[in-house]
């Protein structure tokens, strides 16, 4: 699955973004509708539609997403108090863009993850 997404255009800098990090594997930028004081999206540069489409070939990229999340959390000053990482999968999981992306949220207490 390698369909073009809005994130593909952000990776190529065809759409402006507040980019915080980019290397050969991943790109990170601020969410345009933040849900917390720090709300950053971390995406693979390769289009992977959903978690169900991940293969063992993607392990290095997915690992890089986590190390970049930790780096950005430190840079944002939110690592000491903690933060949340969210990856949604398909409709019931709340996925809106079918290009895997990790939400890094922090900067305030985030409360319960799911309503009981």
- Is 101 labeled as catalytic in the residue annotation? yes
Catalytic-labelled residue, pool 39, 92, 99, 101 = 101
Closest CA relative to residue 43, chosen from 115, 111, 98, 105: 98
Q: From start to end of the chain, where are the E strands?
A: 19-22, 26-30, 38-44, 83-86, 102-106
Contacts of 63 (CB under 8 A, 6+ apart): none
Active site members:
101
């Amino acid at each position: 699955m390698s369909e073009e997404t809005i994130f593909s255009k952000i990776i190529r800098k065809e759409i402006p973004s507040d980019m915080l990090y980019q290397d050969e594997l991943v790109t990170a930028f601020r969410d345009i509708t933040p849900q917390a004081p720090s709300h950053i999206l971390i995406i693979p540069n390769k289009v992977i539609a959903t978690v169900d489409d991940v293969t063992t070939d993607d392990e290095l990229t997915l690992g890089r997403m986590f190390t970049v999340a930790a780096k950005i959390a430190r840079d944002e000053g939110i690592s000491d108090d903690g933060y949340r990482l969210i990856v949604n999968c398909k409709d019931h999981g709340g996925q809106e863009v079918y290009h895997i992306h990790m939400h890094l949220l922090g900067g305030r207490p985030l409360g319960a993850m799911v309503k009981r």
